[in-house]
A and B are shown apart, each in its own frame.
Chain A
């Protein structure tokens, strides 16, 4: 289990951090004692090579042993051990080198100061490393959550055929099979189209407005069989609007609402009017029905609440939706970009 290849930011941090540390130690050395080539070489070697290499190896070790997943109370003792081992090991090596080279060993306070310097340097490295790691993991998690919840929301908001409509339709159909077989034939075909479209809508993000309107026509034709002469349909669709891409079942849901809360509630029936126009890269859609807006369900109940939420998730602020009653006609108005971004 290798750690992922580090990014550019990691190398920049490594270079800047350890480079800064090397400059600090070397500067301190040059300012305090007369310089000596061996000392300079060993300072460059320990601070500029061993330290970066050790920290890089530590990164890999921590990754392989899953230290990122450890809770704080188990991680901290390990890190303290690593820092102590690192600082003690490096300082010991330096002192040992001096002894072997037969050079005067620095006083104990000097050796401690050196160890403390190494310890602080590595502590600083670890602090930055874990801060960056934590933040990156949190961002990734949030992004993942956002994607998952948006997908789930969109899935749950997908409009489905109203079961009440479906079963009433089958009931009418069974009667027509016996009494008016030719009419039943037309009705079965329409119902099959509608079902196919509704099932396919689970796998499609957008459809041409022309396809959606064709299915809305099928739907309204089926409803008018059910509702007898109580339903009159009017249409005014501009040809240039037909190319617009819209989420599937969007207008069908509005038409279903127009029937369910409008025409079906009126003993003498009424009119459903569908309009679509395109202008300035946007398409405007109207679904209107005879009837009254019920005060408590001003948002039109669950179906339209879902529509609103669905539009928000797909288009953000770019789509508008309104529902209002004007003199005995309930108007649902949509304005969308010609294609979802």
Chain B
């Protein structure tokens, strides 16, 4: 696994580097001391595992995650604010408290290996931007709660003012991106713009029914109903291969 170490303290990065020598399958491809540097490294280097400190100059680790199109396997490293991490759904990432215990590091790496073999594809090729596909993980934050979910888990996005809401499970966090921007970054084979207000995950479509007013209603798994125009419904059937 290619790892990137992000921490503003040089000694903390060196210490992690030292601890990682016990795990030969982890290759450290780079380090970053600020969120800006980390963003550049993530764009330029093939990173599948990110060790991320939360408190850094000017911006937090969460700010970095929000800027990423896809989140690599993720292990937070923090001195004290693990409470901030309690907001996370537990399986999507792990966290280590500094000073890091070698056995906790080994356990976190085991978990990352499992996550990688289960859902994560091989390291993305750096450089060329790639559309978000089903296995890509994204970071979502709404107030104090945070999620890391794969695009495949999101049922649909809905416009809310200038932003959009992501619906998955029982959650519907507001994300600070317009529906148009979201649409431009996702794989069209996965997400379909059903209407001006909705971007739906084709994998969740159950059936399409005629509505009273000359249009159609898409039934999504989980009981969500999304209206589509006659023209869009033709396109939708085409996308679904019907």
Identify B9's interface contact among A168, A170, A266, CB under 8 A: A168
A227 in the interface (beta carbon within 8 A): yes
B34 in the interface (beta carbon within 8 A): yes
Q: Tally A-B pairs: CB < 8 A.
A: 62
CA distance A172 to B8 in the complex (A): 12
B99 in the interface (beta carbon within 8 A): yes
Q: Contacts A172-B15, A174-B99, A267-B58 known; list 17 others, CB within 8 Å.
A: A163-B80, A164-B79, A164-B80, A166-B79, A166-B80, A168-B79, A171-B15, A171-B79, A172-B11, A175-B15, A176-B11, A226-B11, A227-B9, A228-B10, A265-B57, A266-B57, A267-B33
B20 in the interface (beta carbon within 8 A): no
Give residues in A with beta carbon < 8 Å to B: 163-164, 166-168, 170-176, 178-179, 225-228, 264-267
CA distance A193 to B81 in the complex (A): 25
Contact between chains at B58 and A265 (CB < 8 Å): yes
Which A residues touch B140, using CB under 8 A? none
Contact between chains at A167 and B57 (CB < 8 Å): no
Contact between chains at A178 and B18 (CB < 8 Å): yes
Identify A179's interface contact among B14, B79, B80, B99, CB under 8 A: B14
In chain B, residues 204-241, which have Cβ atoms closer than 8 Å to a Cβ of chain A?
none
B43 in the interface (beta carbon within 8 A): no
In chain B, residues 36-70, which have Cβ atoms closer than 8 Å to a Cβ of chain A?
55, 57-58
CA distance A164 to B98 in the complex (A): 10
CA distance A166 to B81 in the complex (A): 12
Shortest distance between the CB of B99 and any CB in chain A (Å):
4
In chain B, residues 1-34, which have Cβ atoms closer than 8 Å to a Cβ of chain A?
8-12, 14-15, 18, 33-34
B97 in the interface (beta carbon within 8 A): yes
CA distance A179 to B10 in the complex (A): 13
Which A residues touch B33, using CB under 8 A? 267
CA distance A227 to B12 in the complex (A): 10
CB-nearest residue of chain B to A179? B14
Contact between chains at B9 and A226 (CB < 8 Å): yes
Which B residues touch A164, using CB under 8 A? 55, 79-81
Which B residues touch A172, using CB under 8 A? 9, 11-12, 15
Which A residues touch B81, using CB under 8 A? 164
Q: Which 6 A-B pairs have the closest CB atoms?
A: A167-B79, A175-B15, A171-B98, A172-B11, A168-B79, A171-B99
CB-nearest residue of chain A to B14? A175
Give residues in B with beta carbon < 8 Å to A: 8-12, 14-15, 18, 33-34, 55, 57-58, 79-81, 97-100
CA distance A176 to B57 in the complex (A): 23
The prevalent SS among residues of A at the interface is: helix
Contact between chains at A264 and B18 (CB < 8 Å): no
Report 27 cross-chain contacts, Cβ distance below 8 Å, ordered by A residue: A164-B79, A166-B80, A167-B97, A167-B98, A168-B12, A168-B79, A170-B99, A171-B9, A171-B12, A171-B99, A172-B9, A172-B11, A172-B12, A173-B99, A174-B99, A175-B11, A175-B12, A175-B14, A176-B11, A179-B14, A226-B9, A227-B9, A228-B9, A265-B58, A266-B57, A267-B33, A267-B58
Shortest distance between the CB of A172 and any CB in chain B (Å):
4
Which B residues touch A168, using CB under 8 A? 9, 12, 79, 98
CB-nearest residue of chain B to A226? B9
The prevalent SS among residues of B at the interface is: loop
Shortest distance between the CB of A46 and any CB in chain B (Å):
78
Shortest distance between the CB of B218 and any CB in chain A (Å):
43
Shortest distance between the CB of A336 and any CB in chain B (Å):
31
User: Which residue, B10, B14, B15, B79, has most C-beta atoms of chain A within 10 A?
Assistant: B79
CA distance A227 to B7 in the complex (A): 11
Shortest distance between the CB of A256 and any CB in chain B (Å):
14
Which B residues touch A178, using CB under 8 A? 18
CA distance A171 to B12 in the complex (A): 7
Shortest distance between the CB of B10 and any CB in chain A (Å):
5
CA distance A171 to B97 in the complex (A): 10
Shortest distance between the CB of A195 and any CB in chain B (Å):
16
CA distance A265 to B97 in the complex (A): 21
CA distance A178 to B18 in the complex (A): 10
Shortest distance between the CB of A242 and any CB in chain B (Å):
33
CB-nearest residue of chain B to A162? B80
CB-nearest residue of chain A to B79? A167
CB-nearest residue of chain B to A227? B9
CA distance A226 to B18 in the complex (A): 17
CA distance A59 to B167 in the complex (A): 76
Contact between chains at A167 and B11 (CB < 8 Å): no
Given A163-B80, A267-B34, answer yes or no on A171-B58 (Cβ-Cβ < 8 Å). Answer: no
Shortest distance between the CB of A252 and any CB in chain B (Å):
18
CA distance A213 to B97 in the complex (A): 31
User: Which residue, B9, B14, B55, B80, has most C-beta atoms of chain A within 10 A?
Assistant: B9
Shortest distance between the CB of B64 and any CB in chain A (Å):
14
CB-nearest residue of chain B to A163? B80
CA distance A163 to B57 in the complex (A): 18
CB-nearest residue of chain B to A229? B10
Which A residues touch B9, using CB under 8 A? 168, 171-172, 226-228
Shortest distance between the CB of B82 and any CB in chain A (Å):
10
